[in-house]
Amino acid sequence: MISNRVFSGVQPTGSLHLGNYLGAIRNFVDLQSDYECIYCVVDLHALTQWQDPAELANNTREVAAAFIAAGIDPETSIIFNQSRVAAHTQVAWIFSCVARMGWLNRMTQFKEKAGKHRENASTGLFTYPNLMAADILAYLATHVPVGEDQKQHLELTRDIAQKFNHDFGVEFFPLVEPLIFGEATRVMSLRDGSSKMSKSDPSEQSRINFTDSADEIARKVRRATTDPEPLPSEPAGLAGRNEAANLVGIYAALARVTVADVLAEFGGRGFAEFKPALSDLLVEKLVPISDQMRRLMDDPSHIDAILAQGADRAAAVADPVRDRVYEIVGLIPA
């Protein structure tokens, strides 16, 4: 059995921001040195909520471009879009027959996304975690880098793997492990340090987008909400200061140092000094990526060729797994 295969997915549902970078994409880049990595633009998951068709296609290419620009090597790792590899939906159907209503009823992300109008949510939104489990298990992946908010879906993936193995008396699917990363995996809004940086926040000021220019980054950091106190010299001093903690956390993550290191340098100094240092660091790290993304987006056919080649390589892994699943449950394979 493969002992170290990474799979992760990003939904193409809108412009990417700093939270996606520090919480996901940068970690995907780092994992390439230790794991065989498969990174998927999960376009089918995006469809669980209505998407403008032209925008969906564009956003799919944009996520792929962000992957590549950030440093995922499409020759070493596999980059592809989900809808191109049929095994995902084929295995997902089997999992829809393994997972229990009660399990899916407990998913907090469904409750959040469906909101008050549960009866109006698509059935795809409800069974979303079955497809996610299929994404991962169709590759017999063992490790999944995700944010905190996806931990429950990974637990469900383990439950599905276990029930499948048990129901059919096989030791086929591995139990996946989440890889949750350290500081600033949760980047918060620049306007409110208690809510997550999110593409659905109506205020553009709340987030730093991959496509922001150096000037836009500097302006957003300058206008970020803070308190009047200088920075503390120890991490404990950030308690109850969500906005300060967020900015220090972002700095630490980008500089690849600890929060304590940042405070050792900036403790006692005010935001008038810290903010320019933070925006310089953001510009230094993000602008080269967004420049490269723009160059890639200028040639969509090149991105499409990378996605097509990735899908071929992905299918070469996932199709035999699907065939084996079909065989295990008693379907006559092709």
Active site residues: 113, 196, 199
Kindly write out the interface string for residues 150-189 of this chain, putting x where it contacts ligand TRP by CB under 6 A and - elsewhere.
Answer: x--x------------------------------------
| 12 counts as binding ligand TRP under rule CB under 6 A | no
Q: Out of 64, 107, 146, 253, name the contact with ligand TRP by CB under 6 A.
A: 146
78-81 and 143-145 beta bridge pairing? unpaired
Torsion angle, alpha carbons of 112, 117, 120, 121, to 10: 0
| 249 counts as binding ligand TRP under rule CB under 6 A | no
CA 15, chain centre distance (Å): 13
Span of 49-57, 112-120, 142-150, 310-318 interacting with ligand TRP by CB under 6 A: 142-150
Span of 3-11, 204-212, 224-232, 283-291 interacting with ligand TRP by CB under 6 A: 3-11
Q: How far apart are CB 59 and ligand TRP at their closest, in Å?
A: 14
What six digits make up the tokens of 25? 């994409």
Span of 132-140, 183-191, 256-264, 308-316 interacting with ligand TRP by CB under 6 A: 132-140
Q: How far apart are CB 73 and ligand TRP at their closest, in Å?
A: 20
In this structure, is the dihedral angle defined by the CA atoms of residues 45, 205, 237 and 264, taken in order, positive or negative?
Answer: positive
In terms of CB distance, is 95 or 251 closer to ligand TRP?
Answer: 95
In terms of CB distance, is 80 or 251 closer to ligand TRP?
Answer: 80
Q: How far apart are CB 131 and ligand TRP at their closest, in Å?
A: 7
| 77 counts as binding ligand TRP under rule CB under 6 A | no
Q: How far apart are CB 8 and ligand TRP at their closest, in Å?
A: 4
Residue nearest to ligand TRP (CB): 9
Q: How far apart are CB 171 and ligand TRP at their closest, in Å?
A: 22
What six digits make up the tokens of 275? 């903010």
Q: Out of 5, 6, 9, 70, name the contact with ligand TRP by CB under 6 A.
A: 9
Number of residues that bind ligand TRP (CB under 6 A): 13
In terms of CB distance, is 10 or 263 closer to ligand TRP?
Answer: 10
Q: How far apart are CB 239 and ligand TRP at their closest, in Å?
A: 29
Q: How far apart are CB 15 and ligand TRP at their closest, in Å?
A: 15
SS (H, E, C) the chain: CCCCEEEEEECCCCCCEHHHHHHHHHHHHHHCCCCEEEEEECHHHHCCCCCCHHHHHHHHHHHHHHHHHHCCCCCCCEEEEHHHCCHHHHHHHHHHCCCCHHHHHCCHHHHHHHCCCHHHCCHHHHHHHHHHHHHHHCCCCCEEECCHHHHHHHHHHHHHHHHHHHHHCCCCCCCCEEECCCCCCCCECCCCCCCECCCCCCCHHHCCECCCCHHHHHHHHHHCCCCCCCCCCCHHHHCCCHHHHHHHHHHHHHHCCCHHHHHHHHCCCCHHHHHHHHHHHHHHHHHHHHHHHHHHHCCHHHHHHHHHHHHHHHHHHHHHHHHHHHHHHCCCCC
Q: Out of 63, 78, 137, 144, name the contact with ligand TRP by CB under 6 A.
A: 144
Kindly write out the interface string for residues 29-48 of this chain, putting x where it contacts ligand TRP by CB under 6 A and - elsewhere.
Answer: -------------x--x---
Binding site for ligand TRP (CB under 6 A): 7-9, 11, 42, 45, 132, 135-136, 144, 146, 150, 153
